[in-house]
Structure 1
Amino acid sequence: MGQSRSPLGVTDLERLAARGWRGSEEEPLGGWLLRAGGGFTGRANTALVTGDPGRPLPEAVGAVAAWYRARGLRPGAALPGVQARRADAAFAGAGWTRDEDVLVLTAPLVAGPEPGVPVELSPVPDEGWVAAYRYRGQVPPAIARTVLTSGGRVAFAAVRPGPGEPPVAVARGVVTDDWLGVSAVTVAEDHRRRGLATSVMGALTRWGAGQGAGWVYLQVSASNAPARALYRRTGYVEHHRYHYRWAPEGA
């Protein structure tokens, strides 16, 4: 993959990515997007803060808080790039705590060679795929299947040590317009450093190219040094960063 400049800016890429990883409920708040998905992942359960909420910022912060509390969820907001600085200050002023940075990486999509190991691709995740996926080190809840299968053209990659055996590496791909989004890359601890993450990602980029995608994006936590090193080696560059803010517990 080369290192050409992404054709989308921060707001457009965030809105596109939101279409590829959706909760079970969405509602606009001016230019912001309220998203709920049973509490599974920040991306599906936070307000995407892009553009103008159509009301004063303190009032918008209160509206976000009320919307999530009405659904039994801790209110949260995703604040991408420099465009969200004023809103970020408003959330901070209301006592919302800040998480670490998440990097959004992009690259032109070039279909690479066949993976070094067999990689299965399926339009839906089977029980073995879901069991192999780890979100923040935990087995995902039942609502995860709804979020994972949202977003339109989706593919689930899996590497199995033998026919019918549980996967030891998995990843998810979704094509939105002409972009491939890669997520949920998980390799079993005792199978790491064998190139399996590269294999499942390679299979998804080949699939994405076949779906007409010309660019690829993914998200990685700033603290995940091994993953960042892998993506850097394979040609991804930082497009922008975002972080979450969460309302005080019990407020």
Structure 2
Amino acid sequence: MSAYLTVRITPADVGKRVSVRTLTGAGEQEARFTDTVGTLTAWQGGTLSVTRRDGRLVRLAESSLVAGKVVPQAPPRRRGLPAATVAELVQVGARTWPAAESERIGDWRARAAGGWTRRANSALPVGEGRPDLERLGAWYAARGLPLVLHVVEDGSASGGPLAAELDRLGWEAGGHTLTLAGELAPLADRPADPRVRLGRTLTADWLRRYRRAAAAPETARLVLGGGPSVWLATVPGGDGGREDAPAAEAAEAGAVPEAEAAEAGPAAIGRCVVDGRWAVFSAIEVDPAHRRRGLATAVMAELARAALAEGASAACLHVERENAPARALYERLGFHEHHRYHYRRAR
């Protein structure tokens, strides 16, 4: 009984860093204590899920607990970056922004989605070999698309050396992008906002707010609705202002009448796809009339809570290098640069 009383954690501590001790084995000879430290990502059905700092998920039987407590966050690794290789995040990014069709060609994977977004219509490295430009080019030509390569800016064979070779061939570079990563729990710990609504289905209103979808709505629906576990967040147009803001203050802030706002579409949207330990955010957009009211943060926090409940522990997103406001926001939310990449296309 005294051992049970040393357990000072409950399901309410999900999302926090904990230290737990379990006792396994039957009988005195086989009994063994095991200590586990990490983020408590779930506690349900008599089982605790703890994600270690290295990303490994450990499941513990509640009945085996003999001690447990909440502990301070560990000093961050590389400014809070979860442990992950570039190759891991490249593949996670591909699965959470899926193409309509893909095919492995050598050590590269060709991906296509009718030309909608470079991310879904570029070839990705899946090994260390150089791209077979002739075969890849033919694959894309058969679909009426140009060959575009996703080039990671690192020292791997498919990174810096490849970029230098493409420079010599005269290939143009564009779409310079940063992959950011961070811990999920601190984002999920932010206060809940009742204005944010979560769902699993892409609606016409959600797509209307996502400006890039207008060019190819059906393809956009296919890509945005794909992935291992998709969550979509919406703040209705009439809910864009602070609930406690006086009407005069709201007017000064640029608020629009509720009926007009509803007709214009959601005040804010966001998307998050859970892929194992990763929660990958995308399509975070706020109506210009509702900016600077914390909606982007509220949307991401609500999505983070949903991802955390599924067992994710790390967060990731992609942002264009020149998008300084977005980069500043994500840094405030605990995201830091993991690596960079850009796209290459023959002139």
Please list the CA deviations of residues 40-89 of structure 1 after superposition, one character each: whole Å capped at 9, or x if unmatched: 11111000134234xxx4x7122222211111112101111312112223
User: Which residues of structure 1 form unaligned runs of 5+?
Assistant: none
Q: Which of 114, 122, 128 is residue 46 of structure 1 equivalent to? A: 122
Which stretch shows the higher mean deviation, 24-33 or 146-155? 24-33
Which stretch shows the higher mean deviation, 75-84 or 156-165? 156-165
Task: Tell me if 1:93 matches 2:168.
Answer: yes
Q: CA deviation at 1:214?
A: 0.5
2:325 counterpart residue number = 226
**Paired amino acid for 2:276:** D
Higher relative contact order (CA 8 A, sep 6+): 1
Q: Determine the C-alpha separation between the residues in 1 that align with 2:293 and 2:237.
A: 12
Task: Tell me if 1:172 matches 2:172.
Answer: no
Q: Determine the C-alpha separation between the residues in 1 that align with 2:322 and 2:203.
A: 30
Query: Secondary structure, in 3 states, of the residue corresponding to 1:26?
Result: strand
Q: Give the 5 Å matches for 1:98-109.
A: 98-109=173-184
Q: Is the 8 A contact 2:277 2:314 kept in 1?
A: yes
1:246 counterpart residue number = 345
1:70 counterpart residue number = 142
1:60 counterpart residue number = 132
User: Which residues of structure 2 form unaligned runs of 5+?
Assistant: 1-72, 240-258
Query: Secondary structure, in 3 states, of the residue corresponding to 2:120?
Result: coil
Task: Tell me if 1:79 matches 2:178.
Answer: no
Q: CA deviation at 1:26?
A: 0.8
Q: Determine the C-alpha separation between the residues in 1 that align with 2:193 and 2:87.
A: 36
Query: Secondary structure, in 3 states, of the residue corresponding to 1:40?
Result: coil
1:130 counterpart residue number = 207
Of all paired residues, the percent bearing the same amino acid is: 38
**Paired amino acid for 1:145:** R
**Paired amino acid for 1:60:** D
Q: Is the 8 A contact 2:81 2:336 kept in 1?
A: no
Q: CA deviation at 1:140?
A: 4.2
1:155 counterpart residue number = 231
Please list the CA deviations of residues 141-167 of structure 1 after superposition, one character each: whole Å capped at 9, or x if unmatched: 121000001112001111013389321
Q: Give the 5 Å matches for 1:204-219.
A: 204-219=303-318
Query: Secondary structure, in 3 states, of the residue corresponding to 1:116?
Result: coil
Query: Secondary structure, in 3 states, of the residue corresponding to 2:192?
Result: coil
Q: CA deviation at 1:207?
A: 0.8
Q: CA deviation at 1:117?
A: 4.5
Q: Is the 8 A contact 2:270 2:299 kept in 1?
A: yes
Q: Is the 8 A contact 1:50 1:80 kept in 2?
A: no
How many residue pairs get aligned? The number is: 242
Q: Determine the C-alpha separation between the residues in 2 that align with 1:92 and 1:61.
A: 14
Q: Which of 109, 112, 124 is residue 33 of structure 1 equivalent to? A: 109
**Paired amino acid for 1:95:** G
2:286 counterpart residue number = 187
Work out which of the two has the higher radius of gyration on C-alpha atoms and give 1 or 2: 2
Superposed CA RMSD:
1.9
